[in-house]
Amino acid sequence: MDQTTNLSLPFIMPSQAQKQVSHNEALRILDALVQLAVLTRSLSDPPASPVEGARYIVAVGGSGAWSGKDAAIAAWQDGAWRCFAPLPGWQAWVSDESRLLVWDGTGWIAASSTMRQLQNLSLLGVGTTADAANPFAAKLDTALWSAKYTGEGGTGDLRYTMNKQASGNTVSLLLQNNWSGRAEIGLTGDDNLHFKVSPDGSSWTDALVVTAASGRVSFPQGATGLREQLTADRTYYVRPDGDDANDGLSDSASGAFRTIQQAIDAAVALDLSIYAVTINVAKGTYAENVTLKSYLGVGPITLVGDTTTPTNVDIAPASGTAVAAPQVTGVWALDGFELSSDVTCLDVSNYSVVNIDNIAFNGTGTHIYSHVGAYINGAGGSFAILQATCARHVFVHLAGAQAALNSATCTLPTDGLDSSTAFADVSALSFATFASATFINGAAATGLRYVVDSNAVINGGGNANLLPGDTAGTTATGGQYT
């Protein structure tokens, strides 16, 4: 064997004359191939005036002295071209491309493509310098993550995993403006998913929280157009010493609402789902016009005052209707209130449904007004009329409106009752039932018992004298009293 295996460097043989020839030849080969850096790999024709020692990778289609030497290393040495066929693993720096190449046995490829693993790096910076605080740092315009497709041996899925040590730690995506935090998404201090925002990078506000245990979404700051969905029955509290800025969820001055309407608005902003809402109203006088509203879910929503002594909880606006339910979707209930108004105490209209019990009516106007398909249900309930003189106690009018006071007990003023129009006025295809109702102190009542006309019906259980008054009722235009 007269030369080395890999670089074909000539050996100096025993008793060889002119040993310097072999030695110098080996040095020339080493000079050409060790620390290999070529000027370019884009030439297929030898340059006309090469510099001594210049090296090239011959491009496809080599000609002249490079003919048949495609991909070989061509070195200009001692006024002549010497070409070396690369072996797998040879590396060459291409100066005009600033790229390191590797011969893989068939072609020159980027050395970076041969790097299959980088394990246990302590620092990695991409486009910037990593440091101890940020062992991995990247500064770039765009980044791409893609699943490995099934045709490439992957699953087609991509899951980006971030892990924290314990529940009290944080794992999150932090979004910054000029290195100052403005938004954060993640498990911040617990196992619930938080969406936080900040105006300055120091004070943070939870905008949305997804509870890990239930998956329920809450909006700690409130949400426009979005409803909280109930997972259990809920109770709101109203007290004269409360505040409408409270959340209404506790029976205290610092927790309860001040007005009944605020509690109603809070309830109808919910998605009740299959659950019910109760609004507990403490003793006191509430000088407000209360409007019942439509809500989402099964319900019902019940307003509860003092069911033993309803007069302890008085809804008494300065003017207008005490409680109104105008075209309401959902069933409402009132239990344990005094309703005070010289216009209308309870006005239910446009197919709304309200259940009532333990109500005291006070005022000179109409006490119960059901109209345009509405339904007021007080069957079996307990009621009181506090004002001796009123326009009418029950007014049911138009498009199938109904009032059910059958089997109810109604206590009248001890000094009598005078209904200037009629105790009950039912008209225009409407229906009211008083069958088996009891009127305490009814014997002292004066005025017309009822008016029923325009194909309406009053069910008095066959007792024409059931309703309070000392004057027989009247029927007209198809109206019936049964």
pLDDT in tens, 32-59: 678 899 999 999 999 999 999 899 999 9
313 burial level (CB within 10 Å; 0-12, 13-18, 19+): buried
User: Poorest-confidence range of 209-223, 286-300, 359-373, 407-421?
Assistant: 209-223
Q: What is the pTM of this model?
A: 0.61
Q: Considering the domain boundaries, does residue 155 fall inside one?
A: no
- Check whether residue 177 and residue 101 sit in a common domain: no
User: Does residue 310 have a pLDDT over 60?
Assistant: yes
pLDDT at res. 17 = 74
- Across the range 386-410, mean pLDDT stands at 94
- Domain membership of residue 159 (yes or no) is no
Residue 381 resides in a domain: yes
- Sign, CA torsion 142/145/151/157: negative
Higher pLDDT, 77 or 224: 77
Q: Tell me, yes or no, whether 214 and 256 share the same domain.
A: no
- Read off the amino acid at residue 207: A
Determine the Cα–Cα distance for residues 240 and 130; give it in Å rounded to an integer: 62
Q: Can you give the residue range of the structural domain that contains 99? A: 22-113
Are 347 and 400 contained in the same domain?
A: yes
Mean per-residue pLDDT over the chain, rounded: 93
What's the confidence (pLDDT) of residue 32? 64
Q: 251 with 331, same domain?
A: yes
Quickly state the pLDDT bin for 197 (edges 50, 70, 90). Answer: very high
- Rounded-to-integer distance, Cα 354 and Cα 373, Å: 12
pLDDT for 228 equals 84
Is a pLDDT exceeding 80 seen at residue 27? no
Q: Looking at 226, 244, 273, which one is the last position of a domain?
A: 226
Q: Are 400 and 375 in contact (CB under 8 A)?
A: no
Q: Which residue among 226, 241, 269 closes a domain?
A: 226
Under the banding of pLDDT at 50, 70 and 90, the label for residue 8 is: low
Residue 398 lies in a domain: yes
Residue 125 within a domain: no
In sign, the C-alpha dihedral spanning 67, 71, 73, 76 is positive
CA distances to 28, 33, 39, 75 from 53, in Å: 9, 11, 11, 6
Q: Whole-angstrom Cα distance, residue 97 to residue 33?
A: 19
Token pair for 50: 């090469």
Rounded to 10 degrees, what is the CA torsion of 456, 461, 465, 468? Answer: -70
Asked if residue 150 belongs to a domain, the reply is no
For residues 259 and 180, membership in a common domain is answered with no
Structural domain ending residue among the three candidates 113, 143, 159: 113
Q: What is the pLDDT of residue 416?
A: 80
Average pLDDT over residues 120-129: 94
Q: 417 pLDDT band (50/70/90 cuts)?
A: confident
Residue 7 has pLDDT above 70, yes or no: no
Q: Please determine, for residue 125, whether its predicted confidence score (pLDDT) is greater than 70.
A: yes
394 plus 313 within the same structural domain? yes
Same domain assignment for residues 298 and 195: no
The per-residue pLDDT for 349 is: 97
* 433 and 380, same domain (yes or no): yes
Query: Is residue 5 very low, low, confident or very high in pLDDT (cuts 50, 70, 90)?
Result: low
On whether residue 140 sits in a domain, the answer given is no
Say whether pLDDT at 393 is over 80. Answer: yes
The model's pLDDT over 246-274, given as tens digits with 9 standing for 90+, comes to 999 999 999 999 999 999 999 999 999 99
> Per the structure, how many domains does the chain have?
3
What pLDDT, on the 0 to 100 scale, is given for residue 421? 84
Residues 194 and 310 occupy one common structural domain: no
Residue 149 lies in a domain: no
Do 338 and 376 belong together in one domain? yes
Q: What is the CATH number of the domain that holds 411?
A: 2.160.20
Are 198 and 272 members of one domain?
no
Query: Closest by alpha carbon to 14, among 2, 27, 26?
Result: 2
Q: Do 207 and 246 belong together in one domain?
A: no
Query: Which spans in 193-296 are helix H?
Result: 260-268
